[in-house]
Structure 1
Amino acid sequence: MSGRDFEGFTVVITGASTGLGRAIAVEVARRGAGLVVVNYARSAEEAQETARLVQAEGSKAVLVQGDVAKDEDCQKIVAAAAPTGRIDALFNNAGMTKFAPNHADLDAVNAEDFLKLYSVNVVGAFQMVRAARALLEAAPSPGAVVNTASIAGVMGNGSSVPYAASKGAMTTMTLSLARALGPRIRVNAVNPGFIDTPWFKNMPEDSMERLRAGAAAATPLKVASTAEDIAGAAVFLASPASRHITGETLLVDAGLHLGGASLSMR
Structure 2
Amino acid sequence: MSGRDFDGFTVVVTGASTGLGRAIAVETARRGASLVVVNFARSAEEAEETARQVEVLGAKAVLAQGDVADDADCRRIAQAAAASGRIDALFNNAGMTKFAPQHGDLDAVSAEDFLKLYSVNVVGAFQMVRAARSLLEAAPRPGAVVNTSSIAGVMGNGSSVPYAASKGAMTTMTLSLARALAPKIRVNAICPGFIDTPWFGKAMDEDRVARLRAGAAAATPLQVASTAEDVAGAAVFLASPASRHVTGETLLVDAGLHLSAATLSMR
Normalised to the residue count of structure 1, the TM-score between the two structures is: 0.99
Letter in 1 for 2:163: Y
Give the 3-state SS of the residue equivalent to 1:251 in structure 2: strand
**Residue matched to 2:191:** 191
Is there any run of 5+ residues in structure 1 with no aligned partner, and where? none
Aligned to 2:199, what secondary structure does the other structure show? helix
Decide whether the 8 Å contact of 1:146 with 1:190 is kept in 2.
yes
In 1, the alpha carbon distance for the partners of 2:84 and 2:3 equals 22
5+ residue gaps, structure 2, are none
Q: Determine helix, strand or coil for the equivalent of 1:147.
A: strand
Q: Deviations over 1:230-261 (max 9, x none)?
A: 00000000000000000000000000000143
1:125 aligns with 2:125: yes
Q: Distance in 2 between matches of 1:79 and 1:208?
A: 38
Residue 129 of structure 1 deviates from its aligned partner by: 0.2
Equivalent residues in 2 for 1:6-155, closer than 5 Å: 6-155=6-155
Which letter maps to 2:108?
A
2: CA distance, partners of 1:200 / 1:162:
17
**Structure 1 stretches of at least 4 aligned residues deviating more than 3 Å after TM superposition:** none
Percent sequence identity over aligned pairs: 84
CA distance in 1, matches of 2:175, 2:64: 28
The answer to whether the 8 Å contact 1:158/1:262 transfers is no
Distance 1:41 1:261 in 2: 35
Q: C-alpha deviations, 1:139-163, integer Å up to 9, x for none?
A: 0000000000000000000000000
> Aligned pair count?
266
Write the letter of the residue equivalent to 1:210: R
Q: For residue 37 of structure 1, give the secondary structure of its aligned residue in structure 2.
A: strand
Q: CA RMSD in A?
A: 0.6
TM-score under structure 2 normalisation? Answer: 0.99
Aligned equivalents of 2:257, 2:201: Cα separation in 1: 23
User: Any idea what the Cα deviations from partners look like across 1:26-60, whole Å, max 9, x if unmatched?
Assistant: 00000000100000000110000000000000000
User: Aligned residue for 1:218?
Assistant: 219
For residue 244 of structure 2, what is the aligned residue in structure 1? 243
Aligned residue number for residue 263 of structure 1: 264
Write the deviation string for residues 153-190 of structure 1: whole angstroms up to 9, x where unpaired. 00000000000000000000000000000000000000
SS, match of residue 125 in structure 1: helix
Q: Distance in 2 between matches of 1:119 and 1:186?
A: 23
Report the AA paired with residue 25 of structure 2.
A
